[in-house]
Amino acid sequence: MIISVTSGKGGTGKTIVATNLAYLSKDVQFVDCDVEEPNAHIFLKPSITFSQEVSLQIPEIDEKKCSFCGECALFCNLNALAVTKKGVILFPQLCKGCGGCILVCPEKAIREKERLLGVIEGGRFQSGEFLHGRLIPREPFASPIIRKLKKMIDGRKELVILDSPPGMACPMISTVIGSDLSLLITEPTPSGLFDLSLTVSVLRTLDIPMGVVINKANKNNIIEKFCEKENIPVFMKIPFDRKVAEVYSKGHLLVRDEKWRKKFEELFERVLSLDEI
Amino acid sequence: MEELCVISGKGGTGKTIITASFATLSENKVIADCDVDAPDLHILLKPEIRSIEEYRGGKVARIIEERCVKCGKCAEHCRFNAISNFRVNTFLCEGCSVCQLVCERDAIEMREELGGYIYLSKTPYGWMSHASLLPGEENSGKLVHEVKKRARELAKKNRSKIILIDGPPGIGCPVIATLSGANIALIVTEPTLSGIHDLKRVLSVAHYFNVLPLVCVNKYDLNEEMTEKILSFCTRENIEVVGTIPFDEKVVEAMENGRIIISEGGEASSAIREVWKRVHEVLQRLH
Ligand code: SF4
Ligand code: SF4
């Protein structure tokens, strides 16, 4: 079963839920897809045993062959190429590596070269396999790394956990797409609710079943009301507790504490029980 | 005119709360919410929308069924795996047109999609430019760019001194778009291992794009040892720290009620005032 753990708003406790859940499984693959700010390794403390570079194929123009016809620049929908009388200018950070310019060039003057975007690292932690990616700061596009990470998913595992980036733009979509269940982590504030409603609409269009975890829960029941109206199950509530924040700040897991372990075990059971349906 | 953006790397460190507070404390500014993925500033600033504009995002491919002979060339060439079973998954399509180029039957059309909306609004604290993104829009950086452009126009018209920007989390394309052209990036971090890890990453992006970084530690007393580490890291790296803000239940309460902490008083509120003073000094220095 593949689950994605996501949230519209950042900092709602996505990684807390994902890592604690991972710790309880005996046969898990944990994939941190938040490649802009990967944090799960801080909690799961995997021993990293391999690393692999991720790059994008971008064009390289052979000026000797180029006739400056401008076809490539005309084709590029991302405006990554500009042709002047003196030469072709590539804006590498705009290029997504679609390869179209190579196909349209009548002089066959374009080759591809690699542009390094980041790395993927993997290894093992106590309960299973660990993978994450890191985008090089200054690079704009996270999705190629996420796509690569997702190709490494091992579907035979009892549980694959995808720790998703926040938001609802491309990096989040690339992560959650194809998962069997999405856990949405939110908090009972107006902004928590607003961002949750955005995420719900995304997941509905993608047709992914979902369950909600309310973090920093208190007497305010705006999230419950919303979930009831939308017919989305609330799987778990993590009460507001300064202790949780302190444990988190040190990079520790909550499940080491008996009380929390029970709660996360219940969540774990709920998640897995959905697999049988 | 100076551009001040508030960013954080890690989400949920209190970026929006601080931006909203600055909105109430600063004079003569235009506000921009560049966290177009999960825009929350409007919840605190309660803007009155004065104009709505459609935002045309990228293009998306569509296969015209009657013409398609199911040769599969398009799927073979699409580097984004956006085509399967002779259908385009609009969420995955990057709009590059390669499929259209290779299709021999002219069976693919590229359509401009509605990517979201851009709003110009009036708040009790000044004009605000903001947006909403439709799900799955790839290039949210482009929308950020549009929001900033509108803010700059507003600022020019009103002769504003500052553009105050609530930035997105992360370090990817929307963050880069937020930073481009900005003068100062106030990075709001928290004393957690993840906070410090993400701070370092977002700092290198700010350096790369030549934006002056300032750091403030929110909820510093949750882990004072870690706060110390952040402070000495900043000293070593020669980065100005403009303040530390204590954990305060009042902030939680204010958030719950959609109110701005500044008007509620308390420890965090006074600390944020101090932070603003320091940031303001730096802004004057740049002037
Ligand atoms: S590979 Fe695609 S995006 Fe990159 S420059 Fe060529 S046409 Fe543009
Ligand atoms: S436009 Fe590009 S990304 Fe979209 S389906 Fe065609 S080849 Fe794939």
Q: Which of A249, A250, A252, A253 to mutate to test the interface with B (most CBs of B within 10 A)?
A: A249
The encoded tokens of residue A89 equal: 């200018």
By CB neighbour count within 10 A (0-12 exposed, 13-18 middle, 19+ buried), where does B72 fall? Answer: exposed
Q: Which of B138, B142, B143, B144 to mutate to test the interface with A (most CBs of A within 10 A)?
A: B138
Ligand 1: nearest atom to the Cα of A96: 3
Q: Which of B72, B92, B114 is the last residue of a domain?
A: B114
Residue in A135, A139, A189 closest to B255 by CB:
A189
Question: Are B163 and B42 contained in the same domain?
Answer: yes
- Res A224: pLDDT: 95
Cβ–Cβ gap A190/B219 under 8 Å = no
State the DSSP H helix or E strand holding residue A176, giving kind and residue range, or none if neither.
helix A170-176
- Each domain of chain A, given as residue ranges in start order, spans 2-54+125-276, 63-108
**B73-107 CB burial, b ≥16 within 10 A, e <16:** bbbebbbbebbeeeebbebbbbbbbbbbbbbeeeb
List CB contacts (< 8 A) between B249 and chain A: none
- Res B90: pLDDT: 87
Instruction: Look up the pTM and report it.
Output: 0.90
Question: Are B96 and B146 contained in the same domain?
Answer: no
Mean of pLDDT over chain B: 93
Q: Is the pLDDT of residue B99 over 80?
A: yes
State the DSSP H helix or E strand holding residue A208, giving kind and residue range, or none if neither.
none
By CB neighbour count within 10 A (0-12 exposed, 13-18 middle, 19+ buried), where does A143 fall? Answer: buried
Question: Are B230 and B252 contained in the same domain?
Answer: yes
Ligand 2: nearest atom to the Cα of B95: 1
Q: Is the pLDDT of residue B227 over 80?
A: yes
Chain B: give the shortest CA distance to residue A120, in Å. 16
By CB neighbour count within 10 A (0-12 exposed, 13-18 middle, 19+ buried), where does A85 fall? Answer: exposed
Residue-by-residue DSSP string for B54-98: EEEEEEEEEE-TTT-----HHHHH-TT--EETTEE-TTT-----H
Ligand 2: nearest atom to the Cα of B97: 1
Cβ–Cβ gap B12/A9 under 8 Å = yes
- Res A167: pLDDT: 85
- Tracing tokens 């801080």 back to the chain, one arrives at A42
Question: Are B149 and B87 contained in the same domain?
Answer: no
Q: Is B53 part of any domain?
A: no
What are the residues whose beta carbons fall under 8 Å from the beta carbon of B23, sequence distance 6 or more? B29, B31, B45, B123, B125, B126, B164, B260
Q: Fold for domain A2-54+125-276? A: Rossmann fold (3.40.50)
Chain B: give the shortest CA distance to residue A268, in Å. 24
Q: For residue B139, what pLDDT band results from cuts at 50, 70 and 90?
A: low
List CB contacts (< 8 A) between A195 and chain B: 38, 40
What's the one-letter identity of residue B103?
A: C
Cβ–Cβ gap B43/A242 under 8 Å = no
B159-174 per-position pLDDT tens digit: 999 999 999 999 988 9
Question: Are B155 and B261 contained in the same domain?
Answer: yes
Angle at B99 between CA B65 and CA A53, to 5 degrees: 135
Cβ–Cβ gap B92/A78 under 8 Å = no
Of the candidates A271, A193, A254, which has an alpha carbon nearest to the alpha carbon of residue A17? Answer: A254
DSSP A99: -
ipTM of the predicted structure? 0.86
Cβ–Cβ gap A205/B135 under 8 Å = yes
Contact B168, B178 (CB under 8 A): yes
Find the mean pLDDT for residues B71-99. Answer: 92
Cβ–Cβ gap A216/B252 under 8 Å = yes
Give residue B92's domain range. Answer: 58-114
- Tracing tokens 């990228």 back to the chain, one arrives at B58
Residues B159 and B175: their CA atoms lie apart, in Å, by 26
Q: Is the pLDDT of residue A277 over 60?
A: no
CATH hierarchy code of domain A63-108: 3.30.70.20
List CB contacts (< 8 A) between B101 and chain A: 75, 100, 103-104
Find the mean pLDDT for residues A22-51. Answer: 94
How do beta strands B29-33 and B2-7 pair? unpaired
Q: Is B52 part of any domain?
A: no
B78 lines ligand 2 (CB under 6 A): yes
State the DSSP H helix or E strand holding residue B188, giving kind and residue range, or none if neither.
strand B184-189
Backbone angles phi, psi at B85, to 5 degrees: 50, 40
Q: How many domains does chain B have?
A: 2
C-alpha pair distances (Å), A223 with each of A3, A229, B120: 21, 10, 29
- Res A86: pLDDT: 78
Q: Which of B69, B93, B114 is the last residue of a domain?
A: B114
